[in-house]
Structure 1
Amino acid sequence: MKLKLGIRSIGEAGKHAFNHNRQIIQLGKLGKVEEAIRIFFNMTHKNLVTYNSMISVLAKNARIRDARQLFDQMSLRNLVSWNTMIAGYLHNNMVEEASELFDVMPERDNFSWALMITCYTRKGKLEKARELLELVPDKLDTACWNAMIAGYAKKGQFNDAKKVFEQMPAKDLVSYNSMLAGYTQNGKMHLALQFFESMTERNVVSWNLMVAGYVKSGDLSSAWQLFEKIPNPNAVSWVTMLCGLAKYGKMAEARELFDRMPSKNVVSWNAMIATYVQDLQVDEAVKLFKKMPHKDSVSWTTIINGYIRVGKLDEARQVYNQMPCKDITAQTALMSGLIQNGRIDEADQMFSRIGAHDVVCWNSMIAGYSRSGRMDEALNLFRQMPIKNSVSWNTMISGYAQAGQMDRATEIFQAMREKNIVSWNSLIAGFLQNNLYLDALKSLVMMGKEGKKPDQSTFACTLSACANLAALQVGNQLHEYILKSGYMNDLFVGNALIAMYAKCGRVQSAEQVFRDIECVDLISWNSLISGYALNGYANKAFKAFEQMSSERVVPDEVTFIGMLSACSHAGLANQGLDIFKCMIEDFAIEPLAEHYSCLVDLLGRVGRLEEAFNTVRGMKVKANAGLWGSLLGACRVHKNLELGRFAAERLFELEPHNASNYITLSNMHAEAGRWEEVERVRMLMRGKRAGKQPGCSWIEVQNQIQHFLSHDPAKLRPKNIQIILNTLAAHMRDKCNTSDMKSAFDIL
């Protein structure tokens, strides 16, 4: 009897353990880690499955350190325990830790080897993965080979992927689909079609990969033709085609396809709702949401995101409150909505209430603080993060750059173990934003030394740095590098080239780049017009404006700043006033301070100072330093001391440390013989400039950028001055041709 009771009690304990294990896994999927932990510690009977389930839950919810601590506490481990822990490291992108654990495993199965090879391939360490593949004992196991093929294909190394594929002693459908996925995911649809047609056996995954590939490359016609040929399309087939139609704005066709679906699962409903949200048709999305027979967390979160996207935060909160099981994705979505609406403190309160934060949740809150300029709070959260990914680090770099703290941004950048292209671009863009143009170019050099290839964003930023430095020779070198790198067709790069050449005085080169751009946009036109204005080509600016209008490109505020500037440089006061009137009446553009600044400069250059001053007094926007500076400059030219003094006083309030304003007013007093006022202004300037950084200038000398600080005796050597004078003389002799000297940046 006792024996029977014992057996029954063990059975009951096992049953309870089974139920608890299932609860732990379910709570983990919902992101409710604390509840899962509470159940785990309250369990009186824990088995190996319990421990393995808890390790998996912790790892998948960014609690990898807790997972490892639990793993180390286990008195008995099986192969599943080791594999679960390695899979946890893989999930958190921690290759080194996974590798260390793999090396000390008492035994391995095929899954262990496949996990570790996948770990290396995802991190781009293909040589390590290939070395491991050679050591796999069971050469007939396809999982390891397939992981290696997928790794090569993902990186676009199709020849290597094909070699592995051909070397496989046994191939399965996954092997073929891994090769096919490499082609489709990298946009190589011609090769993908050839491979697909050569496949002796296909399954629905093969067909879906082809449809998805054509959708991704924008070839909806081919995608549709293949979709209709799928022998037995599954939910993924229908959803892939539906999302493709929605992505390219074919909402009616997407809805028609949805209505045609023979059976709709929750994924299908969610896909259609998401397409409405993407198209900002939130009311339609809500109608469909209400008709859903079964809703999951994705359904609720999609509607919450939809309301947030159209600025209906209260409605988003109502949906969130109605949600039966609030997971971390929904919580993060609502928190992000609060951040987008500037309600940072409310977002912080919500963040504090979330039980277990995943990396997306951490990053969203850090980004919120960063965008609000609250970098101390952002840093505090950043330091608390258990696992930081590249987004975390890059967000901090961008945040400090936006706050003007480039020293801190650089510290964060240097502390990164692995820097990606976004990290480099964040740093370079930060230097550009803070007018540290030389540092931006130096970063490009360092990037090359570390073996990182620049992308279109890198080129656009460094070209802008060249433009602001008027570093034509370095800009030319970058142009050549862009041609070799294949980014010449990128619109952002093309527009940056136009601006660079224009600011360096090479208008013909700017025009050539403009003509070479296949499909120009408004920024292209604005860059060209601004270039004409800067270099005094008013007639060309007018012709460009007319051509732009004839091609039905609608001008914006920047276009009119360029046009007014062109009129100002050419002294075309009446034409400038007509342009200003046209901007307001014909295009309904409200003038900005920059427009008024151009107008004041325009009127001031032709001596219409009273009219310029009345323009300032009558405008609706707050005057900026550029506007008062234009008026001050005009007052000096036309010797209107009284009005000039008034403008200077406004400038002293806006730019107390800008020496040029004091010098202009001082010179005006000197020209009028008012020497006491000269001394007063100079004393005032010295007081305001105390403790400030000295002025800095730069010049290209023998294809290198030299910078000079005021009162720097090291830069005042006769030899240096002679080099500069010789360089200037050479530029004057041959202003159009520059010898092809070796770049100081060594980027080619």
Structure 2
Amino acid sequence: MHLNSLLQACSASKSLNQAKQLHHYMLLHGSHRKPFFTTKLIQIYADCDDLRSAHSLFRQLPQPNVFAFTSILAFHSRHGLARQCIETYAEMRFKGVSPDGYVFPKVLKACAQLAALLEVGVVVHKDVVVFRWDVDLRVCNSVLDMYSKCGDVEGAARVFDEMRERDVFSWNSMMSCYVCNGLSQRAVEVLESMRVDGCEPDVVTRNTVMDAYCRMGLVSEASKVFEQIKDPNVISWTTLISGYSSVGRHGVSLGIFREMVNDGMVFPDAGALSGVLVSCRCLGALASGKEIHGYGLKIMPGEIFYRSAGAALLTLYARCRRLHDAENVFHRMDKSDVVTWNAMIFGFIDTGLGHLAVECFGEMQERGVKIDHTTISTILPVCDLRCGKQIHAYVSKTDFNCSMIPVYNALIHMYSICGCIAYAYSVFSTMVERDLVTWNTIIGGFGMHGLGQTALKLLREMSDSGINPDLVTFSSALSACSHSGLVDDGIELFYRMTKDFCLTPVKEHYSCVVDMLGRAGRLEDAFHFINQMPLEPDKHIWGALLSACQENQNISVGKLAAEKLISLEPLEASHYVTLSNLYSRAGRWDDAARIRVMMEGQGLLKPSAHSWIGTGS
């Protein structure tokens, strides 16, 4: 058989033994001196994952051509060796070899994996244009995908707009870029443009749109898209399960998972199991969680199951106070993975065992596991000042890149609850970027320390910085006004919520105003405010008013508040006791006695001259 035919057959079979025999034959007959045959053998060795042999032959070529470089690049790309892929491309360009349409997708993929847009990606994109491969659809899709995965939305959009031809991959990449960078509404708009352009959406398109709707909290819209998918895949189901879980509709999330299993067309993967276990934790659905635990071990190897779903399962068991089960899961997880330790720390904290969480954190450090931003954000709320300062020192020496904002937010919160508001503000002041949580935390911290004027000043700075306050911001600010006696400022702030920020107050905000007026002794104003509420006042609001009446010895309003509380909770003894004490302190003994009789009538007070100790029979 001709050597070229032998090489072709060996390439098709991808047999390493045949490749070595053929290599030996070439050495005996001097064929290895011909670059064409050597290049073909390099490709066969690379395809058989024998990089050493491929490299050995590659180095023997006096002038490696694009095909030889492509074989080495393909090996690196296939095995996720992004840095080596880029280094090979750099060598290729240094030697003056022109890249082609097979080279560019591999190198651009490596740039995306390393997020090396500015260092390498832009240069490779320039080469795409210089060598006129910007008209090739596959290459253009790779450029678009690189910009998308590197988070350069404008760059991705520019490439997309300049493409002479687009396929479904192009549209999906652009939509994914918008979704992953927090621009979900634009992703939905792209879908409409895609249809106008005559490109038919596929399952990936609809999965991406579902993800966009879920991120916007529009799970009903996501569900409608799901119904349009003829054959939903595991990503379709998982996206919907996670979407309902993310908006707190955990019962629906669990129901969708059961529908997926009963449907039997798609088997859930570890990601789907992890998503539904989060809902089980929030519901406290221990029985369902144990079923899923068993099901997961039945359909996949334990190593895979625990790697992906272990953290969610561990925190479920901890929430249900099954610490023994949680620790069993912990011991089956990878101890070198920070996610394992984060889950255990969170589990202890969620169960109210902060001291064990701190011990677990210490053991994690002793083992040399590298801490991430989630570890810091999770452990700080249960740290004392000494431990918190040590973590702060660690943070100052460590680069968490884009994850620094939640870490600094946790530090602000820690210093605030430890009574060091000056330290909290120092951390806040050093932050280059701040998010909504940052402002809410520092405003709440000053409010907690009775520094209402500073909290209001920060609220104004927050608005000036371009970040709109939310309901949590106003809860913190109103509480600050209440604790600082800034009644008029607080009332004005409450009405500005709707007028200036188009926010609808919830019961927590009304309760803050009642507490504020009560602390200032303006009890009639508080009662009038409650009666004007568009919401039905609950026990917390009436309780805040009654407590203020007791403090200020206001019997008339206190009686009204107590009557409301008793009508809401007729069997709650504390309401009767509070009203009775109010009468007693005012010297109205007959009214106090009347309340006692009411309690006896409800069975809330033992009858006079009777013992609660049984005599037996």
Q: Residues 377, 646 of structure 1: CA spacing in aligned structure 2 closer, same or farther, 3 A cutoff?
A: farther
Instruction: Provide the C-alpha distance between the structure 2 equivalents of 1:462 and 1:658, rounded to a whole number of angstroms.
Output: 38
Cα offset, 1:456, TM superposition: 0.8
Deviations 1:412-464 (A, max 9, x none): 54353325323332343344445443333233223223432221111112222
Deviations 1:636-669 (A, max 9, x none): 3212356557757878999999999999778767
Instruction: Provide the C-alpha distance between the structure 2 equivalents of 1:547 and 1:533, rounded to a whole number of angstroms.
Output: 16
Letter in 2 for 1:452: V
Instruction: Provide the C-alpha distance between the structure 1 equivalents of 2:438 and 2:131, rounded to a whole number of angstroms.
Output: 44
Match of 2:142 in 1: 240
Q: Residues 413, 585 of structure 1: CA spacing in aligned structure 2 closer, same or farther, 3 A cutoff?
A: same
Deviations 1:370-400 (A, max 9, x none): 5555342232122122222422222223445
1:454 aligns with 2:360: no
Instruction: Provide the C-alpha distance between the structure 1 equivalents of 2:498 and 2:191, rounded to a whole number of angstroms.
Output: 39
Match of 2:521 in 1: 607
Match of 1:513 in 2: 427
The answer (yes or no) to whether the contact 1:274–1:302 under 8 Å persists in 2 is yes
Cα offset, 1:478, TM superposition: 1.6
Q: Residues 284, 561 of structure 1: CA spacing in aligned structure 2 closer, same or farther, 3 A cutoff?
A: closer
1:479 aligns with 2:392: yes
Instruction: Provide the C-alpha distance between the structure 2 equivalents of 1:597 and 1:296, rounded to a whole number of angstroms.
Output: 50
The answer (yes or no) to whether the contact 1:338–1:346 under 8 Å persists in 2 is no
Q: Residues 206, 584 of structure 1: CA spacing in aligned structure 2 closer, same or farther, 3 A cutoff?
A: same
Instruction: Provide the C-alpha distance between the structure 2 equivalents of 1:484 and 1:594, rounded to a whole number of angstroms.
Output: 40
Q: Secondary structure at the match of 1:520?
A: coil
Instruction: Provide the C-alpha distance between the structure 1 equivalents of 2:348 and 2:569, rounded to a whole number of angstroms.
Output: 22
Match of 1:90 in 2: none
Match of 2:162 in 1: 257
Alignment counterpart, residue 494 of structure 1, candidates 395, 399, 408: 408
Gaps of 5+ in 2: 1-12, 20-43, 62-67, 607-617
Cα offset, 1:316, TM superposition: 2.6
Instruction: Provide the C-alpha distance between the structure 2 equivalents of 1:299 and 1:548, rounded to a whole number of angstroms.
Output: 38
Q: In terms of mean alpha carbon deviation, does 584-593 or 297-306 score higher?
A: 297-306
Q: Residues 446, 244 of structure 1: CA spacing in aligned structure 2 closer, same or farther, 3 A cutoff?
A: same
Alignment counterpart, residue 416 of structure 1, candidates 332, 338, 343: 332
1:378 aligns with 2:289: yes
Letter in 1 for 2:161: E
Cα offset, 1:684, TM superposition: 6.4
1:559 aligns with 2:559: no
Deviations 1:571-604 (A, max 9, x none): 1222221121222222122112222222122111
Letter in 2 for 1:392: A
Cα offset, 1:552, TM superposition: 3.2
Match of 1:701 in 2: none
Gaps of 5+ in 1: 1-78, 84-107, 112-139, 149-164, 687-748
Match of 1:345 in 2: 255
Instruction: Provide the C-alpha distance between the structure 1 equivalents of 2:167 and 2:454, rounded to a whole number of angstroms.
Output: 61
The answer (yes or no) to whether the contact 2:306–2:332 under 8 Å persists in 1 is no
Instruction: Provide the C-alpha distance between the structure 2 equivalents of 1:438 and 1:355, rounded to a whole number of angstroms.
Output: 46
Match of 2:225 in 1: 316
Q: What CA RMSD, in Å, does the superposition of the two structures yield over aligned residues?
A: 5.1
The answer (yes or no) to whether the contact 1:604–1:631 under 8 Å persists in 2 is yes
Alignment counterpart, residue 581 of structure 1, candidates 495, 498, 504: 495
Q: Secondary structure at the match of 2:501?
A: coil
Letter in 1 for 2:373: Q
Q: Secondary structure at the match of 2:229?
A: helix
Q: Residues 399, 652 of structure 1: CA spacing in aligned structure 2 closer, same or farther, 3 A cutoff?
A: farther
Pairing 1:80-91 to 2, within 5 Å after superposition: none
Alignment counterpart, residue 264 of structure 2, candidates 346, 354, 357: 354
Instruction: Provide the C-alpha distance between the structure 2 equivalents of 1:476 and 1:658, rounded to a whole number of angstroms.
Output: 44
Give the aligned length. 524
Q: Return the structure number with greater relative CO, CA threshold 8 A, min gap 6.
A: 1
Alignment counterpart, residue 191 of structure 2, candidates 285, 289, 298: 285
Instruction: Provide the C-alpha distance between the structure 2 equivalents of 1:565 and 1:546, rounded to a whole number of angstroms.
Output: 16
The answer (yes or no) to whether the contact 2:514–2:529 under 8 Å persists in 1 is yes
Instruction: Provide the C-alpha distance between the structure 1 equivalents of 2:555 and 2:576, rounded to a whole number of angstroms.
Output: 13
Q: Secondary structure at the match of 1:586?
A: helix
Q: Residues 603, 328 of structure 1: CA spacing in aligned structure 2 closer, same or farther, 3 A cutoff?
A: closer
Instruction: Provide the C-alpha distance between the structure 1 equivalents of 2:567 and 2:89, rounded to a whole number of angstroms.
Output: 68
Q: Secondary structure at the match of 1:490?
A: helix
Q: Residues 561, 358 of structure 1: CA spacing in aligned structure 2 closer, same or farther, 3 A cutoff?
A: closer
Match of 1:60 in 2: none
1:225 aligns with 2:138: no
Deviations 1:291-317 (A, max 9, x none): 668886546655676777754356435
Instruction: Provide the C-alpha distance between the structure 1 equivalents of 2:466 and 2:436, rounded to a whole number of angstroms.
Output: 10
Instruction: Provide the C-alpha distance between the structure 2 equivalents of 1:146 and 1:509, rounded to a whole number of angstroms.
Output: 58
The answer (yes or no) to whether the contact 1:406–1:431 under 8 Å persists in 2 is no
Cα offset, 1:555, TM superposition: 1.9
| % identical equivalent positions | 25
The answer (yes or no) to whether the contact 1:533–1:565 under 8 Å persists in 2 is yes
Letter in 1 for 2:229: Y
Match of 1:14 in 2: none
Q: Residues 320, 408 of structure 1: CA spacing in aligned structure 2 closer, same or farther, 3 A cutoff?
A: farther
Q: In terms of mean alpha carbon deviation, does 563-572 or 196-205 score higher?
A: 196-205
Q: TM-score, normalised by structure 2?
A: 0.68
